[in-house]
Chain A
């Protein structure tokens, strides 16, 4: 019991501590690809500490909701990230939310963040919120279609069971899996506000989405919002990792050694994903905001196609 509890706690701390490192790593890689020195690897931690120690400058028209929302979104995202199998599957509370519930939990966080964009009553906040919900209105159904496909393959929506099934090698290669992976990558890019959907490095463009929405935040509130974005990136990479690269995840009753190996392999997966993301972002340019629906519509259609294939092939 205590052992299980400790493992679950370790997972919570691990995702919290690793997520700024992942963001720092991606930034460093991007800088190196552009032949720049780039900020130090640990810069995101320093940024978070700096922001947390500063005063909050709150807009005069901000309401109580504006001050509560950073805690709501960071809590929702943190809980969601802790329920995804990272280094071990079948943790103590992993069954309390399946993949659909995890997606919906992220949806709750986004709902509140979009409200925060409207709270101060400025035009920048509004533009960010309205674009964020437009993108989400396409990305979320696409994500659910991907979940359907994977759930039909694995016979479960429980991430631990899905990861175990995918890791067992029973399935082999499937057309639906390929479509789902492709769609999932598109959704992950959109949900994390990465290039080509949005640019995480700036808020001085007219096409910006996420950064415009949180423009009025400062101090500890901004630190929490930044931490949320970092956690979300880690979460999506973990989901892709545990479903499409399900190697090295320690099982429910594994030894301490297996858990240690699991952590090392997990960090390795994050590093590979970080490099791929940096290369992708460097190679591509940002698209106009009204090209985004076509891009995400492709993900939705791919997800639907993958699900349809599963429905038809399951009966054969």
Chain B
């Protein structure tokens, strides 16, 4: 199987030079995205076959890379699951881009990198030795960086690309060190050798920290998230969807692969680190998102939040695994991985929606939109589905994975460690808080963008997006519904993954009557999205039918009531900032040092009144600004070394040589 998958990757790589040859011609867009669609769909089918066939992992070695090592590739259940996520997202993005890409001004800046980027993500997931893993990882970073700066005319995009490149290199460095420690002095880079050798406790601890930092910086955990809300929105929308929906999942894959698979049995405190990081990431991500009025940046911050939720599931799984509670570990791991799948679906959908809006109006700023539900009813509908799903509301899929995480939290009092006993309830509270804030945030995102009255002529003149884009969005929206109402099948599909990582899997769900999901026992908890959905639809339509039949079905249009004082200007509507004002007042004072400065002109003056809101990004100020300032200072000081005479350079070289020899002498 892995050989066929590699053929697919080769096909994607071959598309890159074809794209260069086709250049900026309109045919290029259709050829490249159409071919990507076909290849990713094929890869998706291959991955599904690997996941369901329960065979031994399929491996192969190519004579590439390090001469004594070769390039190892392998598809086991974990890799197969992530291949499904990658290629499903890739297929949807390609389908969307067939329509969306037509509006691109300079497609030659995007088309060559797009298939290469897809290939790189596939390679990371299939790699079976540290060398191929890191090379693919770096290739993935670089291709996505090229896509981020494809609209390089905008200054902020260049800055985003710069920050992204730095953070990506930093993350790769951490992963490089972590693999170096895992491989040991002999340089056993193959994953099979690493898996067989169990590192000492201190070494494992160091690897864990490096992995949390390395994979976490790619996934966007707080405080390493700073690049994400800059880079994800800067790319074209289908690439944003891939970066947010898929690439962060590849980073999660890297984390799971190292921590659950390669590193051996976990220590109890590992879970504390992961849970703490997850809880803080979830809440901080959504709080940042609430303060945004750029639609794509808001979505990018929500990726940060959802990565936090995924990490909470993974952290719980680690805790249960460390204390040898495999069934509970299987539940928590399933919750985390199911959220990986769910998030990739609805986040791609939402970014597509944002892209459609961007195409139709040229605006990403919600304060300049509004009323799009009248002009783009279908986009509005699918975007709404995505909003409900990401807000973890039943009966859609986001709720199911959070419900499973809550069920895992409720099993954790059985954990013997007292540290975890205090941490887990707190993390549970953070998770609950982030879920309710996410709902608030998506009321804002959908309400301000699609509802109300148009705030600008561009929004008033918007046109519905094209069929291909709509097809991609409807497909993902349908997936949100299906995964929400029959989650049992999806949980069963994850069984081989949990089997391979924690030894057991959750009870088989597909056979439960009425297609309910029962994580532990029926008396303990069960949920049936299908019945809830049917009940809501039935009672809603019964009510509608009865009222229209028996009471009244008359309707007439009139100006808005607004308590008797309707204002014709759309500027009097609630905006994104005013909608978030109560929440900013509750949380912002401490988290963002938010300050509101009102300037009231003197009576009689014709100057306008002004309200300025100041928000500070404390994480940037505390962690990034000092580092940047320090590097700038050092560079300034070292700058004088550029202007020395030849004698001084020679004496520098001589001094360095003597120092090194001295060190060597003392060492021995």
B523 and A100 contacting across the interface, CB-CB below 8 Å: no
Measured between beta carbons, the chain A residues less than 8 angstroms from B552 are 52-56, 219-220
B566 and A152 contacting across the interface, CB-CB below 8 Å: no
A140 and B436 contacting across the interface, CB-CB below 8 Å: yes
Determine the distance from Cα of A12 to Cα of B538 in the docked complex, in whole angstroms: 13
Determine the distance from Cα of A54 to Cα of B574 in the docked complex, in whole angstroms: 30
Nearest CB on A from B423, distance (A): 10
Q: Does A240 contact B (CB under 8 A)?
A: no
B429 and A78 contacting across the interface, CB-CB below 8 Å: no
Q: Does B536 contact A (CB under 8 A)?
A: yes
A122 and B536 contacting across the interface, CB-CB below 8 Å: no
Nearest CB on A from B318, distance (A): 18
B561 and A111 contacting across the interface, CB-CB below 8 Å: no
Q: Does A131 contact B (CB under 8 A)?
A: yes
Which one, B414, B428, B574, contacts A118 given CB within 8 A? B574
Q: Does B416 contact A (CB under 8 A)?
A: yes
Determine the distance from Cα of A193 to Cα of B412 in the docked complex, in whole angstroms: 34
Which one, B543, B566, B570, B585, contacts A290 given CB within 8 A? B585
Nearest CB on A from B658, distance (A): 62
Measured between beta carbons, the chain A residues less than 8 angstroms from B244 are none
A122 and B543 contacting across the interface, CB-CB below 8 Å: no
Which single residue of chain B is at the shortest CB-CB distance from A61? B453
B451 and A65 contacting across the interface, CB-CB below 8 Å: yes
Determine the distance from Cα of A223 to Cα of B444 in the docked complex, in whole angstroms: 26
Nearest CB on A from B498, distance (A): 22
B560 and A56 contacting across the interface, CB-CB below 8 Å: no
Measured between beta carbons, the chain A residues less than 8 angstroms from B437 are 137
Q: Does B640 contact A (CB under 8 A)?
A: no
Measured between beta carbons, the chain B residues less than 8 angstroms from A289 are 582
- Against B, the Cβ 8 Å flags (1 = close, 0 = not) of A92-119 are 0101111011001101101100110111
A123 and B429 contacting across the interface, CB-CB below 8 Å: no
* Segment of A23-31, A32-40, A156-164, A276-284 engaged in the interface with chain B: A156-164
Which one, A130, A148, A290, contacts B409 given CB within 8 A? A148
Measured between beta carbons, the chain B residues less than 8 angstroms from A290 are 582, 585
B560 and A59 contacting across the interface, CB-CB below 8 Å: yes
B532 and A312 contacting across the interface, CB-CB below 8 Å: no
Which single residue of chain A is at the shortest CB-CB distance from B582? A134
- Against B, the Cβ 8 Å flags (1 = close, 0 = not) of A273-312 are 0000000000000000110010000001001100110111
A148 and B428 contacting across the interface, CB-CB below 8 Å: yes
Measured between beta carbons, the chain B residues less than 8 angstroms from A224 are 543, 547
* Segment of A68-76, A177-185, A243-251, A254-262 engaged in the interface with chain B: A68-76
Most buried by A among B539, B557, B585: B539
Q: Does B527 contact A (CB under 8 A)?
A: yes
Nearest CB on B from A289, distance (A): 8
- Against A, the Cβ 8 Å flags (1 = close, 0 = not) of B174-203 are 000000000000000000000000000000
Q: Does B446 contact A (CB under 8 A)?
A: yes
Determine the distance from Cα of A41 to Cα of B437 in the docked complex, in whole angstroms: 39
Measured between beta carbons, the chain A residues less than 8 angstroms from B371 are 61, 121
Which single residue of chain A is at the shortest CB-CB distance from B428? A148
Which one, B393, B453, B567, B572, contacts A104 given CB within 8 A? B393
B540 and A121 contacting across the interface, CB-CB below 8 Å: no
* Segment of B261-269, B336-344, B399-407 engaged in the interface with chain A: B399-407
Which single residue of chain B is at the shortest CB-CB distance from A212? B563
B579 and A129 contacting across the interface, CB-CB below 8 Å: yes
Determine the distance from Cα of A119 to Cα of B392 in the docked complex, in whole angstroms: 22
With A58-B557, A121-B453 already in contact, the answer to whether A75 and B543 are too (CB < 8 A) is: yes
Q: Does A85 contact B (CB under 8 A)?
A: no
Measured between beta carbons, the chain A residues less than 8 angstroms from B391 are 107, 111
With A95-B516, A119-B451, A307-B425 already in contact, the answer to whether A155 and B436 are too (CB < 8 A) is: no
Which single residue of chain A is at the shortest CB-CB distance from B520? A156
A136 and B370 contacting across the interface, CB-CB below 8 Å: no
Determine the distance from Cα of A289 to Cα of B583 in the docked complex, in whole angstroms: 12
Nearest CB on A from B439, distance (A): 5
Measured between beta carbons, the chain A residues less than 8 angstroms from B412 are 311
Measured between beta carbons, the chain A residues less than 8 angstroms from B406 are 100, 144, 148, 157
Q: Does A79 contact B (CB under 8 A)?
A: yes
Q: Does B528 contact A (CB under 8 A)?
A: yes
Determine the distance from Cα of A56 to Cα of B551 in the docked complex, in whole angstroms: 12
Q: Does A267 contact B (CB under 8 A)?
A: no
A115 and B446 contacting across the interface, CB-CB below 8 Å: yes
- Against A, the Cβ 8 Å flags (1 = close, 0 = not) of B575-603 are 00011111101100000000000000000
Measured between beta carbons, the chain A residues less than 8 angstroms from B444 are 133
Q: Does B562 contact A (CB under 8 A)?
A: yes
With A104-B394, A126-B574, A310-B413 already in contact, the answer to whether A79 and B567 are too (CB < 8 A) is: no
Determine the distance from Cα of A58 to Cα of B557 in the docked complex, in whole angstroms: 5
A152 and B543 contacting across the interface, CB-CB below 8 Å: no
Which one, B421, B433, B452, B581, contacts A311 given CB within 8 A? B421
Which single residue of chain A is at the shortest CB-CB distance from B429? A304
State the majority secondary structure of interface residues on B. Answer: helix
Measured between beta carbons, the chain B residues less than 8 angstroms from A144 are 406, 428-429, 432
Nearest CB on A from B347, distance (A): 18
Measured between beta carbons, the chain A residues less than 8 angstroms from B554 are 55-56
Give residues 523-544 of B contacting A (CB, 8 Å).
523-528, 531-532, 535-541, 543-544
Determine the distance from Cα of A145 to Cα of B427 in the docked complex, in whole angstroms: 11
Measured between beta carbons, the chain B residues less than 8 angstroms from A59 are 557-561
Which one, B380, B436, B516, contacts A136 given CB within 8 A? B436
- Against B, the Cβ 8 Å flags (1 = close, 0 = not) of A221-256 are 001100000000000000000000000000000000
Which single residue of chain A is at the shortest CB-CB distance from B570? A121
Q: Does A167 contact B (CB under 8 A)?
A: no
Q: Does A315 contact B (CB under 8 A)?
A: yes
Measured between beta carbons, the chain B residues less than 8 angstroms from A308 are 422, 425-426
A75 and B526 contacting across the interface, CB-CB below 8 Å: no
Q: Does A151 contact B (CB under 8 A)?
A: yes
Most buried by B among A55, A125, A141, A314: A141
A311 and B424 contacting across the interface, CB-CB below 8 Å: yes
Nearest CB on B from A78, distance (A): 5
With A96-B531, A111-B388 already in contact, the answer to whether A311 and B425 are too (CB < 8 A) is: yes
Measured between beta carbons, the chain A residues less than 8 angstroms from B443 are 111, 114-115, 118, 129, 133
Which single residue of chain A is at the shortest CB-CB distance from B416? A315
Determine the distance from Cα of A284 to Cα of B524 in the docked complex, in whole angstroms: 39
Q: Does B70 contact A (CB under 8 A)?
A: no
Determine the distance from Cα of A101 to Cα of B525 in the docked complex, in whole angstroms: 10
Measured between beta carbons, the chain A residues less than 8 angstroms from B558 are 57-60
Q: Does A215 contact B (CB under 8 A)?
A: yes
A152 and B413 contacting across the interface, CB-CB below 8 Å: yes
Q: Does B625 contact A (CB under 8 A)?
A: no
Which one, A76, A98, A120, A131, contacts B452 given CB within 8 A? A120
A95 and B428 contacting across the interface, CB-CB below 8 Å: no
Nearest CB on B from A66, distance (A): 8
With A63-B451, A71-B543, A98-B525 already in contact, the answer to whether A107 and B573 are too (CB < 8 A) is: no
Measured between beta carbons, the chain A residues less than 8 angstroms from B373 are 63-65, 119
Nearest CB on B from A186, distance (A): 15
A111 and B393 contacting across the interface, CB-CB below 8 Å: yes
Which single residue of chain A is at the shortest CB-CB distance from B538? A75
A-B contact pairs, 27 of them (CB 8 A): A54-B552, A56-B552, A75-B539, A76-B536, A96-B531, A97-B528, A101-B394, A101-B403, A104-B394, A110-B439, A111-B439, A111-B442, A118-B447, A122-B560, A123-B573, A124-B563, A125-B562, A137-B436, A137-B583, A138-B436, A139-B436, A140-B439, A144-B429, A148-B410, A157-B406, A161-B523, A311-B424
B interface list, Cβ under 8 A from A: 370-371, 373-374, 377, 380, 384, 388, 391-394, 399, 403, 406-407, 409-410, 412-414, 416, 418, 421-422, 424-426, 428-429, 432-433, 435-437, 439-440, 442-444, 446-448, 451-453, 514, 516, 522-528, 531-532, 535-541, 543-544, 547, 551-552, 554-563, 566-567, 570, 572-574, 578-583, 585-586
Query: Top 3 nearest A-B pairs by Cβ distance?
Result: A126-B574, A75-B540, A121-B452
Known pairs A75-B543, A105-B394 / 7 extra A-B pairs, C-beta < 8 Å: A57-B557, A78-B543, A79-B536, A96-B527, A100-B525, A145-B432, A312-B422
